[in-house]
Amino acid sequence: MKKFSTLVLFCIGFLAYSQGPNLSKDYDAVADKIIEWRRDIHKNPELSNREFKTAEKITEHLKSLGIEVQTGVAHTGVVGILKGKKPGKTIALRADIDALPVLERNDLPFKSTVKADYKGEQVPVMHACGHDAHIAILMGVAEVLSKNTDKINGTIKFIFQPAEEGPPPGEEGGALLMVKEGVLKNPDVDAIFGLHIKSQTPVGTIRYKSGGTMAAAQSFTINVKGKQSHGSEPWSGVDPILISAKIIDGLQTIISRETKLTQEAAVITVGKITSGVRFNIIPESAEMIGTIRTLDQGMKEHINRRMNEMVPAIAKAYNGEATIEIRDATEITYNEPALVEQMLPTIKRVAGEANVQSQNAVTGAEDFSYYQKEIPGFFFFLGGMAAGTTESFPHHTPDFRIDDSGLQLGVRVLTEMSLDFLND
């Protein structure tokens, strides 16, 4: 009988552990706070590397919880360090904190009316990508975990990262600079988790992909040199606009005829062409800027090589000259398969198995990839579209909006993932 009782107690204890600690009261305690924080941050957005007030709000909150705080990381970044009652591994949780130069069209009581300097101009500013939600979620996770250090075997780093959308011209920033400044050291981080709210995914849903999940992003600049002439006598000049059109056409054949799209998606987009001053003058030069998106390192290298070969060759065929410069913006956001497999049971337990869905890779990019280049990471997507919604709007648009009811799941998932990883 004594042996049977011991076995029963062991099974009950194991079941309780497999279901995770009961933190329902702590989750309830932050439910209204995370909505309040998110709306206040939404109303007061700040651009990349200029997130001064946002950083102050985060810092004040973390200090109020007794969490060790580092400020001024990668310009305006904030890092909180929470040590558990027992030694163990170190996990990092990341939220991006910058907004975008977008004019908000929503009719919300917390609508942004902020303007700020962007490339020498005063522009409207909006949290048009959901970073305000990411901040509020991670602030909520920090509050819950700070009340449960007895359940933590190890250390948790809360990384509030500036400039995910890219630093201003001439400045460093974002995840790359945070890594450079040692955010994954002292103590060394064993794994990192991050999420992104999605305006077109239903609230309560979590989507993920093992392996390559978001594209490496590169930008490029092409300068074309021709020969200026009167628009009525094109034979007396070399038309850089015509050459630009031929280059654009040629670049698309790299995707349509040389890239194995059944393996992974790839994109080359020319987003801007600048040339000429008058309708009847063939100009001397043209400039094109654009982006490259790839999900496979080998494909990335092939596309880069072919662009460098093709651009000057096409220009030469039309008696002109052209140069191309390709710059890295982000790496491939790569979810370590072993880490995904390890954490999926936790996510399914919290969100419900039917609400956790595998998805295809996307050609959007994330500088979270720079952390994953150094250590194993898992980046997933959190539903932010209200139930019954008939129309939702993409990220980076004036009408972008999310439903606050989706934030609570984000807090619960990141909290439980942290505890399960450290206590495994």
Decide: helix, strand or coil at residue 242: helix
The pLDDT score that the predictor gives to residue 390 is 80
Nearest C-alpha neighbor of 377 from the set 368, 386, 385: 368
pTM for the whole structure: 0.89
Q: Are 175 and 374 in contact (CB under 8 A)?
A: no
Site of tokens 């700020």: 116
Task: Kindly list the structural domains of the chain, giving each domain's residue range(s) and its CATH number in brackets, ordered by start.
Answer: 20-209+359-423 (3.40.630.10), 215-330 (3.30.70.360)
Residue 230 annotated in ligand binding: no
Residue 110 and residue 126 in contact, taking contact as beta carbons nearer than 8 Å: no
What is residue 16's predicted lDDT score, i.e. its pLDDT?
41
- Does the pLDDT value for residue 163 go beyond 60? yes
Residues in the chain: 424
Which residues are part of the catalytic machinery? 98, 164
- Contact status, residue 383 vs residue 205, Cβ threshold 8 Å: yes
Stretch (H or E) spanning 241: helix 240-258
For 229-244, write each residue's pLDDT tens digit: 999 999 999 999 999 9
Q: Is 395 annotated as a binding residue?
A: no
pLDDT band at 3 (very low <50, low <70, confident <90, very high): very low
> Amino acid identity, residue 31?
A
Average of per-residue pLDDT across 32-41: 98
- Average pLDDT of the chain is 94
Q: Is 131 annotated as a binding residue?
A: yes
Residue 396 assigned to a binding site: yes
Q: Got the DSSP string for 53-105? A: HHHHHHHHHHHHTT-EEEEEETTTEEEEEEE-SEEEEEEEEEEE---BS----
Per-residue pLDDT, 20: 67
**Which residues sit opposite 380 in a β-bridge?**
195
Is residue 256 within 8 A of residue 285, CB to CB? The reply is no
Annotated binding residue 181 = no
